Structure 1
Amino acid sequence: MWFLNSVNLLFLVCSVALHLDAVNAWSPTNGYAPGVVDCDENINLVRKADAVSDDEADWLKVRHESTVPALKDFLQRGFKGFTNDTSIIDKLLATQDTAPKVAIACSGGGYRAMLSGAGMISAMDNRTDGANDHGLGGLLQSSTYLAGLSGGNWLVGTLAYNNWTSVQAIINNMTDDNSIWDISNSIVNPGGINIFSSISRWDDISDAVEEKKKAGFNTSITDVWGRALSYNFFPSLDEGGVGYTWNTLRDVDVFKNGEMPFPISVAVGRYPGTQVVNLNATVFEFNPFEMGSWDYTLHTFTDVRYAGTNVTNGTPNVTGKCVAGFDNTGFVMGTSSSLFNQFLLQLNTTDLPSFLYNLLHGFLTDASDDYDDISIWAPNPFYEITNIPSNYSQSISEDDTLYLVDGGEDGQNIPLTPLLQTEREIDVIFALDNSADTDQSWPDGFSLTQTYARQFGLQGKGIAFPYVPDVNTFTNLGLNTRPTFFGCDARNLTDLESIPPLVVYMPNTRESFNSNTSTFKMSYSTSERFKMIQNGFEAVTMKNLTKDENFMGCISCAILRRKQESLNYTLPSECDACFEKYCWNGTVDATTPISSTTSSSASSTSTSDSGNKENSARILAPRSTLSLLIGGLASVFISF
């Protein structure tokens, strides 16, 4: 078993220790409550989203120095045995402008997405035992961006904010005390049979959130949810990193040196009492430098370090005074996964002693303020900004509170939008789909159809996405059971606003374990965690390259494709066979599938998620507004 070859506790302990030494951006109160700090008297905290930030641009130059040697090694191993000239590798990697830029997007789906996605990421990480031999080892090191939402954001946040630890290191220490992702017990009852441990944990959470409230900031169930999650993600930190902030990563050497990808967490804007569909939602991103949106309903970013500051058009209302500590890491990760606030609200379905139930129920009811899945960011960092075009809604800038929800509530359960921005110049996106679209909790490509349709609406200005089939075709042709490439030929995409990245779709499918667990399954045994991760590794590697020994070479062809097309270079002839095998060729079969399962050998392990979504059979054109509305609303209950 490739994950059990070594025990690496010393490595993990040392990594965390080095990480803590580097941290100097904790909350100024050393707790969960934000606090007032001095800032430049002439500071303006917002900028128009017409380019990547100066900080990101500077970081990209540093990252390029790491991705080039990693890409060269990966591509050379991928093309090993190819008979034709592979000098294209040296040609393309000669400059920053010609080197392919790779991104990875991790879908939502609760702990299922976190664990299955972890296996997928581990297959791309050269630190994983066996990844270089029968996986895609080095692809993670070759990537520039890594985005996640909801459960995928738990994965990305855990790795990045534990000093860019590896899935291998987490697995090696999974049975130790204080281990990352110790989810053997439910998050509501973390102590298991030790009820006193659970009470102590919730007492600390209650105190932390109450501290923020007493400091004059609004709180919501997302504060509770984020605090509870943090104990599983940052167990080595005091109270799960009670004062740990999102912007901290910019001060950590592994990030400053550009050694690993640029992490992005995704959320969606939604006002209380309204519904979200993908044509009206504003997609927000959180990165180590900023939070904001490329969408023209905002088209603005702000320095995430000073979120919580009272501002007008980005200028602090009190000269020289800002707020720091609002961007708590758990709160950001909870914002992207606020759908699970509903889990905390359903306490009457949990087997808890009455006194613990009463303690939690009373506190959560008080904290929710009837907003359920909404995360409250107040004061609004974008209050009265002037960047929004007049033909777009001004509602975000007119409200003194910013309301955000789970990043997949608009149906785009794979965080692709931030990676499609032309300013980021990404050539290929690996879309890891661990959604629960079918009645047996497997993906069916719905997220891709939503992102494809979005480009034709008002919110899609400035982005392009390759043609994809309807979800019935995904199922009928088995595109949801194996890796599939979309947008292989740029000549067929010229009627879009721009040439989009090539998308390598990698869905969750059964290889060695029924990984179609319920989105709301909130505890996994050590054995289940291991098997979920193992299956994820196999799902993105054609079962350890046993189904296709040339799969790594085909992935190499996909990585080089966009740059090869634009520069009119020649790929090895073996790439033609790869594209023939893995590229969607436009075939459509929109008939209703006989069965919605994604694998004939896979039995359902969960039917607790909602049933199939309404799906349009239309192809190569935007779905109707009504169809999008139905699909978008249904996705709130299914796709995550």
Structure 2
Amino acid sequence: MLRNRFAILLALLLWLNTFAMAQTVASQAYTPIAGRCPAGFNLVRMAGAPGNQTLSSSEASYIQNRKANVLPQAWKTYLSNVLSTNPFLPDYVSGILSGASSEIPTLGIATSGGGYRAAIFGAGVLNALDARNSSSDAAGTGGLLQAATYLSGLSGSSWFITSLAQANFPTMQELMFGPASPTVSNSSWGGWNADYDIITPSTNSVTDTQYYTNLADELLGKYDAGYVVTFADYWGRMLARHFANGTFSSNIFNESYTHGAGILWSAVANTTSFASYLIPFPIVTADLQAPGQNSSEIIAEDYIPLTNPIIEFNVFETGSFDPQLSAFVPTKYLGTTNNSICVTNYDQSAFIAGSSSELFNEANFTNTLNSEFGSILALMADLMPEPQVEYDVASWPNPFYGVAPDTFIDSTQTNLNMVDGGEDGEVIPLQPLLVKARGVDVIFAIDATDDINDFADGSSLIATQNRTSLYPSAYSFPPVPTSMEEYTAQNLTTRPTFFGCNTTSLNTSTPLLIYLANGGPPYGEVPVTNTSTSQTSYLSSEIQAMLSQTFVITTQGYPENGATKDPYWPSCLACAVVDRARERAGVARSGICSTCMDRYCWNGDALTTAAS
């Protein structure tokens, strides 16, 4: 666990309790701001009952404009890349992707949690789907990223998604390594700075001690303004130096910079890529930890019941489509609890990433002084005492106080406690893409969890199937294997697999699932993508090796007969992408698509022989 590393040098911080610290520029930029609400302001938007839910007007407008102004050309570019590998696609595939058909796919991409490993693997898969990468175009997969409508992430992939969106949608190489000639400023992008450890960035004890001091100092403004400050704030400030604008290798320890403080999730709407509808609509999720939660619904080694609401943070709104809440508030005004006094500056991008990856409730925080985080918790308790407040959660003022009192478990709580988005077992953020109002036809699910030897075993899909079965009126999910042993026996985590190909009676509301897992290395290669979730620094050479192997995993398909690549994988992927649109158009599968769907679709035990 990450917590083992916090014991290093933290005792040196206790000297800070002898005097107060002056606020830095980062502390000022991190402090929420209260003011009078706009005229006619209404904090809570009820999203409606299952089957009749609505999107915010801002999201609906963004999606409409993206579909009208960006996606037609994006699909044509993707089609061109697929055709360069196989010119014999069925006419209906070319017709749908070229815009000749009235039906077009609505694609969502979901990338899983799993620390830095998941961030790198998810970025690697998107790199192989990116039309800006000539190697991806040549492989026949480039352009699918640009054609996606939604992009969701949680935990480690929330680091990736938030950094990608707030940095104005750079290429994956620039995202991870920074621009070749950076401009060092509070608002410009500097890369992930992965060679600096998130927790102990230096080998010099004096430097690290000052670093920890600075982190605590950056929280004082928020605390002094009367808001709850927990360890998640501290964690978010660590993440900010890697996944928010404003930090470079040249200034990482320089406190004259804000280091991502003041970079807001709602402000993504002001970036040129978002304003031009060029980026898939980004969503980050976290789990709600609630007093009185039903512990009997906690599965296996998870920490959060499946019945707790999943909270989504999108650029415009934050809330949940789960039927027990089905309500949202403007992300810009997170921190607000009434219609009179509005709070801004609370929706810090790195704090949202920190909330989505807040797994410290899994550690021993019960006894502040004796836990493995004892020194830093003692420091926070001295500088920012929070009696009766949990330190091991992300705390958000509850905008839903009094909302849905009969069904919402936190309706009477002053604050909402957020934890890692995968703590209910759903480590792939599929739930936002199953919302019927979003009309997603096909989901590209990227699984970089650490179930077996830091490889994925399919357990996240099982958790999603179990959860959606609790809310059949709200969500539809295709059948998937019900045990991890089935995924292993059928090699479903070491090859791309399609789920929901033949669930005809459900197809009108059930997306087809394209599942790509980090389940093992390509044939003949030594594994490099199964690094530990607790690894919080990477050399550039390590990242490049992981990107190279992830590219192969994404573009090889399901080779057979000793081959290292399925030459028809780009066509098979395209067949899956258009399959729901094909069905709406009333066209039968034909040509290579018939062969592809037989080859890649899971159909119970039918794949046991094919995969052996």
1:566-614, Cα deviation, whole Å (9 max, x unpaired): 2212445101111111111211899xxxxxxxx99xxxxxxxxxxxxxx
1:157 and 1:341 map into 2 onto residues whose CA distance is 23
Q: The residue matched to 1:331 in structure 2 has which SS?
A: helix
Which of 199, 212, 215 is the matching residue for 2:225?
Answer: 215
Distance of 1:370 and 1:227 partners within structure 2 = 20
The one of 313, 332, 343 equivalent to 1:286 is: 313
Structure 1 residue 413 and structure 2 residue 427: aligned?
yes
CA displacement, residues 230-257 of structure 1 (integer Å, 9 cap, x when unaligned) = 0011253533211111101112221011
Q: Which residue is equivalent to 1:52?
A: 55
Does structure 1 residue 446 correspond to structure 2 residue 459? yes
Q: Which residue of 1 aligns with 2:348?
A: 328
> Would you say the 8 A contact 2:149–2:280 is kept in 1?
yes
| C-alpha deviation, 1:212, in angstroms | 0.5
Aligned counterpart for 1:75 among listed residues 64, 69, 79:
79
Letter in 2 for 1:394: F
| 1:585 alignment counterpart | 603
Amino acid at match of 1:183: A
Tell whether 2:202 aligns with 1:195: no
Aligned-partner Cα distance in 2 for 1:101–1:279: 27
Aligned 8 A contact 2:244 2:350 in 1: no
Task: Choose which of 25, 32, 35 in structure 2 pairs with 1:34.
Answer: 32
Check the 8 A contact 1:473/1:588 in 2, yes or no: no
1:260 is aligned, of 279, 294, 308, to 279
Matched, 1:117 2:122: yes
Q: 1:252 to 1:38 in 2, by over 3 A?
A: farther
| Percentage of pairs with the same residue | 34
1:548 alignment partner in structure 2: 566
Which one of the candidate residues 260, 268, 271 is aligned to 2:290?
271
> What is the match of residue 473 of structure 1?
486
- How does 1:563-578 map onto structure 2 within 5 Å? 563-578=581-596
Equivalent residue, structure 1, for 2:531: 517
Give 2:329's match in structure 1, choosing from 289, 302, 305.
302
Partners of 1:92 and 1:130 in 2: CA distance: 21
Question: Any conservation in 2 of the 1:93–1:99 contact (CA below 8 Å)?
Answer: no
1:544, 1:182 → 2: CA distance? 35
Provide the residue aligned with 2:16 in structure 1: none
1:404 alignment partner, SS class: strand
CA pair 277-211 structure 1, distance change in 2 beyond 3 A: closer
CA distance 1:322–1:70, change in 2 (3 Å): same
1:99 maps to 2:109? no
Task: Give the SS at the match of 2:127.
Answer: helix
Decide which of 239, 242, 260 is 2:258's aligned counterpart: 239
SS in 2 for 1:292: strand
Q: How big is the shift at 1:149?
A: 0.3
> CA 1:136–1:85 in structure 2 vs 1: closer, same or farther (change >3 Å)?
closer
Using the size of structure 1 for normalisation, the TM-score is: 0.78
The partner residue of 2:195 within 184, 197, 222 is 184
Letter in 1 for 2:60: A
Question: Equivalent residue of 1:397, what SS?
Answer: coil
The answer to whether the Cα contact below 8 Å between 1:291 and 1:304 also exists between their aligned partners in 2 is: yes
Matched ranges for 1:153-164 at <5 A:
153-164=158-169
Cα distance between partner residues in 2 of 1:418 and 1:402 = 19
C-alpha distance in 2, partners of 1:349/1:371?
Answer: 14
Q: How far 1:279 sits from its partner (Å)?
A: 3.0
SS for the counterpart of 1:518 is coil
Q: Which residue of structure 2 lines up, in the alignment, with residue 629 of structure 1? A: none
Contiguous gaps of at least 5 residues in structure 1: 1-26, 351-356, 591-598, 601-640
Query: What's the counterpart of residue 43 of structure 1?
Result: 41
> Contact (CA 8 Å) 2:26, 2:218: kept in 1 or not?
no
Give the deviation of 1:536 after TM superposition. Answer: 1.9
Unpaired segments of 5 or more residues in structure 2? 1-24, 48-52, 185-189, 248-256, 296-302
- Name the aligned partner's letter for residue 38 of structure 1: R
Question: How far off is 1:193 after superposition?
Answer: 2.0
Question: What's 2:415 paired with?
Answer: 401
User: Aligned residues, how many?
Assistant: 542
Note if contact 1:411-1:447 (Cα within 8 Å) is conserved in structure 2.
yes
Cα root mean square deviation, aligned: 3.1
Q: What's the TM-score, normalizing by structure 2?
A: 0.82
Equivalent pair of 2:497/2:602 in contact (CA under 8 Å): yes
